[in-house]
Every structure is written in structure tokens, then in C-alpha cells.
Amino acid sequence: MVEVPPDAVDDAAQVLRLALDGDSDAVANAFDAVVDRSGVVGAYDVAWCLAATMVGDSVPVGRWTLDFPDIEDAGYDTRWVARFVSAYANSDASTGEALFGAALEDGQLPECLLTLAGSAVATLRRRTQ
């Protein structure tokens, strides 16, 4: 997988804590703070860490197809998260970067990042049940 700076891991942990508390405004503010400090690249690194949280540590190398039933009927942010997590699972940083750039250009990145944080929290909660 792609290496990210240590501060991205810390920022992702902070985003997860805030998302676990259900505070979407604080999650958005945390991403804004990352962008202010590290630019859009910093936000990408945090998003990549969140995708890593969802996928887990022991992913065998290979091409993965994740099953997202009826994904084409989902909203932009949900489709984006599914594709971004798939890019992570496939160690495909260039696709992840392209998805990130497209969401930014489409004005959808803030909502996509909130959905990603919420999805990561849902994944963590499901693992602990």
C-alpha cells in the first residue's frame, strides 16, 4: 500500500474519533484544518488512511472486486466511497487520486469525505459486534 505521512495517520485517527461521536461538523472542520495545514494532498492522505481502516491489514496482493449491490443507483458520495475503497484495496493510488480530483472538481469532495468517515465508522462498529 502507499505510504502516508505520520501526521495523516494522526489526522485520520482524529477524524474517526469525531465521526464515532457522530459530530459531522467537527469531522468537516478536521478535514478543513488538514487542508489549511497540508493542502488537498493532506486531505487525500487522510482519506487513504480511512480507506485502509475499512479494508484492514491483511489484504492479499491481487486484483479485488468489491461487491456493492445497486451502486449505480446510489448518490455521488456513496459511489465515490465504494470506488475509492476499491482503489485502496487494489493498491491503485492513481485511481484513488483521479477519484479525489474528480470529486474536488465536481464540488462533491466535502460530502464524499464525510461519507467516507461515516463508512469507516460503520465498518469499525460492525467488526466489534
Digit-by-digit pLDDT tens for the chain (129 residues) are: 557 888 999 999 999 999 999 999 999 999 999 999 999 999 999 999 999 999 887 766 666 666 677 878 889 999 999 999 989 988 899 999 999 999 999 999 999 999 999 999 999 898 887
pTM, to two decimals: 0.89
Distance CA 9, CA 11 (A): 5
C-alpha cell at 117: 468517515
C-alpha cell at 1: 500500500
